[in-house]
Amino acid sequence: MNQPQGTLAGLAMTATLLSAAAQAGTYPDYGYAPPDSYKGPTFTLSQSYPATPPKDGLPAFFKQLPAKPDNNFETWRAYMDAVKDYCLEGNVEADWYVENNKVRDWYHMPWQHYGPLGREGIHGMTKEAQIQSRQLASTQVATGQTYAVGIYNDIGAYTIGQVWKDPQSPDPSYTSKPNSFANGTVVCKALFADIDRSTVPFLVNPVLWTGYITETFQSANRTVRDVALIQMDIAVRDTRISDTGWIFGTFQYNGEKTGKPGWDNLVPVGIMWGNDPEVTSNDFTNPQPTETRINPALKQTAINANTEELPPTHLGWNGRLNGPVDNPNSACMSCHMTAESPQLAIMNPLFQADPPPVGSPDWMKWFQNIPAGQPFTPGTRSTDYSLQMSGGLVNFYQWKCDMSGIYADGSNACAKVASMKLKMARPSDTAPQDAPRVMRDPSLEQLLE
């Protein structure tokens, strides 16, 4: 079911396939098939989601959780190393074609294939945010682009299967209170940079993937070429974390670590289990790094202080955790807690025409601690910190909008997409909010127009 996309005929074919999928439970693998000249392996969506909750118990690394989490990263190093091993075991040997993993089962989120940012057909990578000038290093003047693929363990995949078990009517109530992803869910996301590697010192000795990607961030034309591993993110659902129920971590590639290409060159940036909502200052934000600036006031973030291991990196807003290709004015948990359906929330307070003052109460709405399963916007359903889930639901409903034809008054159903989103919201005592135009990042949104 590897369907190229972009024409009404292609969309009509997808509609037929998904109608059949209501019986088969299958989803398209990717949206952008590589050209015939490409002769290598192609991506297969791992979608045989468990029909019952897995009974093998929690991942072994759960025993490594520090008894008293603190902001000293060395307290967390053994835990981070164990989660990294859990994500990579069997996947490195399979080149992340996870259906070939002989150690454990991994799964993908459906509906990442659709739209101009959709999955390419070689490694299943989706298009992510633009890399800004000097975001990675002082020597990196030109901009670039990011591609990524995320995977879920069997515990998380059971919940995915429940949400998507009816391909024509996904149900995000399975991730929204009183429900959520189950304890033990693990998400691993590998991110790759399309950038002039000679200008980024830590990308020496790179791990390269071939992808069918756009020629530039602004371009719609695609070509087969290499991208370099730059980051790996992890997310773990852990009910022992009282404020949020989740732990997020990030690794950064440093090719000088071993002196040869390899996934062992991923070094920890840090870990976070809350947004430190009481810390409102802005003294450590560092969008163009020459050093890693660690904020000691943060108590729910621990950053790796080993400068021989971790190259200079910008981190997130005021020193909260973020990876090298992430927004330096945000944070891992800050972004992911906005995941909801319908996706009314924007991911960062700066993604609006008139942003609030930095550190103000309106700004800090994006740096509160939201428990697992609680939506960011009243009246919506949470997708429980999963932006892949909320993005897939957006893609699905946008596809339904595109395919629903022309109304008698001559307008297309997409012209009424805002009201459709509001109808998807659950009734609440809070007045519904207008659906904002930007959901991810202003630069990405321009590509969707």
Domain boundaries, the chain: 8-448
- Confidence label for 425 from pLDDT (cuts 50, 70 and 90): very low
Angle at 267 between CA 263 and CA 270, to 5 degrees: 135
Angle at 377 between CA 374 and CA 378, to 5 degrees: 80
| pLDDT greater than 70 at residue 187 | yes
- Confidence label for 411 from pLDDT (cuts 50, 70 and 90): low
Given a contact cutoff of 8 angstroms between Cβ atoms, the answer to whether 227 and 211 are in contact is: yes
For residue 342, say if its preceding peptide bond is cis, omega within 30 degrees of 0: yes
* Whole-number pLDDT of residue 70: 97
Q: Which residues contact 386 (CB under 8 A, 6 or more apart)?
A: 109, 175, 181, 187, 336, 339
Tokens of 4: 């190229």
* Whole-number pLDDT of residue 7: 37
| pLDDT greater than 80 at residue 405 | no
Distance (Å, rounded) from C-alpha 296 to C-alpha 71?
8
- Can you tell me which residue has the tokens 């700004």? 363
| Backbone CA torsion sign across 68, 70, 72, 76 | positive
The model's pLDDT over 312-366, given as tens digits with 9 standing for 90+, comes to 999 999 999 999 999 999 999 999 999 999 999 999 999 988 999 999 999 999 9
* Whole-number pLDDT of residue 22: 30
Maximum distance among all Cα pairs of the chain, rounded to whole angstroms: 66
CA-nearest of 63, 230, 71 to 135 is: 230
| pLDDT greater than 80 at residue 18 | no
* Whole-number pLDDT of residue 13: 38
Given a contact cutoff of 8 angstroms between Cβ atoms, the answer to whether 235 and 155 are in contact is: no
The model's pLDDT over 126-182, given as tens digits with 9 standing for 90+, comes to 999 999 999 999 999 999 999 999 999 999 999 999 999 999 899 999 999 999 999
Average of per-residue pLDDT values in the chain: 89
Average pLDDT over residues 42-55: 96
| pLDDT greater than 90 at residue 25 | no
* Whole-number pLDDT of residue 435: 40
Q: What is the DSSP letter of 98?
A: G
| pLDDT greater than 70 at residue 406 | no
The model's pLDDT over 194-216, given as tens digits with 9 standing for 90+, comes to 999 999 999 999 999 999 999 99
Average pLDDT over residues 114-125: 96
